[in-house]
Amino acid sequence: MAAHGIWVQDPQIVQGAAIRIADHPKVTQEQLAVIKLGLGDEIGDFVRLDQAVHSAAVELTESAGASGTMEELLVIYHRIEVGCMTCHSAFQKRVSDALATSGNS
């Protein structure tokens, strides 16, 4: 939806989508323990990517609400996309497999 909002140049759509990204469901402590076991030493990279996406989503929410230019919104949104895709390509299968195996998905 954020990309759609940028395409149609509607900051309210961008802001609503950014809020949903920033407020995405958090993992439980039990799930986090399973993820840590599944990722081992790479857990720090996983957490950094999650935090970067969250921070960018908060920034996008604020910028869209403060009438940031579409160019500014696009730059911030691009950071979210890259962060999501980097994390998913590096960790999604292992995290999903670990959670499914543990029964904590």
Q: Are 77 and 2 in contact (CB under 8 A)?
A: yes
- The rounded distance, in Å, linking the Cα atoms of 14 and 41 is 35
- The rounded distance, in Å, linking the Cα atoms of 33 and 80 is 25
- pLDDT, tens digit only, all 105 positions of the chain: 999 999 999 999 999 999 999 999 888 999 999 999 999 999 999 999 999 999 999 999 999 999 889 999 999 999 999 999 999 999 999 999 999 998 776
Domain ranges (residues) in the chain: 2-102
For the entire predicted model, the pTM comes to 0.88
